[in-house]
């Protein structure tokens, strides 16, 4: 964390500025590199049922990975319902609706049995090497992750890794962090 970054808002502002400076083309290139790193992990290689986010334009892009592995793995994308996340299966025939937050969400039935899920790929604004995560501030993923016991794998760009995240009691740590140049793991996966 840079010396003047003492709050989550300070970190969010810096990360947002860095994304804008890099531009869409560079972020797309870095996204490909992050996904190649994720593809090398045992947890991803062994997974058959994966919860994964539908990326916003400034996040690590997930759709190319989903499309590449759609024949071998089942992917489920999030939908915001009130203050909670539910997940719905993605297929080539899936239709989408734009949420109130401007995110494309899959139409269809909610997944109700999470025992079959092998991992979740989690977005975030910033992370530290102690596997702490800072999201956009809505708490959707923290609330969801508090209720499921599956490997939590965060993906991010190198510049999103900071020295420390200001923590709150409800924050949920990740099991693994994957960027374009490194993998940080708690040793379980």
Query: What confidence score (pLDDT) does residue 5 get?
Result: 54
Give mean pLDDT, residues 166-178.
93
* 93 backbone φψ class: left, alpha, beta (φ>0; ψ -120 to 50): alpha
pTM of the model: 0.92
Domains of the chain with CATH codes: 8-60+114-185 (3.40.50.10420)
> Which residue carries 């709150």 as its tokens?
168
In this predicted structure, the answer to whether residue 189 has a pLDDT above a threshold of 80 is no
Judged on CB neighbours under 10 Å (0-12, 13-18, 19+), 173 is middle
In this predicted structure, the answer to whether residue 3 has a pLDDT above a threshold of 50 is no
């Amino acid at each position: 964390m840079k010396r003047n970054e003492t709050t989550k808002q300070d970190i969010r502002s810096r990360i947002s500025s860095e994304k804008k400076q890099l531009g869409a083309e560079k972020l797309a290139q870095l996204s490909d590199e992050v996904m190649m790193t994720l593809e090398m992990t045992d947890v991803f290689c062994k997974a058959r049922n994966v919860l994964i986010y539908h990326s916003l334009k400034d996040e690590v892009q997930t759709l190319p990975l989903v499309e590449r592995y759609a024949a071998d793995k089942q992917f489920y994308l999030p939908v915001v319902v009130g203050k909670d996340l539910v997940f719905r299966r993605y297929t080539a025939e899936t239709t989408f609706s734009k949420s109130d937050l401007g995110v494309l969400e899959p139409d269809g039935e909610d997944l109700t049995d999470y025992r079959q899920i092998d991992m979740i790929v989690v977005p975030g604004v910033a992370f530290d090497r102690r596997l702490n995560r800072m999201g956009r501030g809505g708490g959707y993923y923290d609330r969801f992750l508090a209720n499921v016991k599956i490997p939590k794998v965060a993906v991010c760009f190198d510049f999103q890794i900071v020295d420390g995240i200001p923590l709150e009691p409800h924050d949920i740590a990740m099991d693994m962090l994957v960027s374009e140049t490194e993998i940080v793991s708690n040793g379980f996966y």
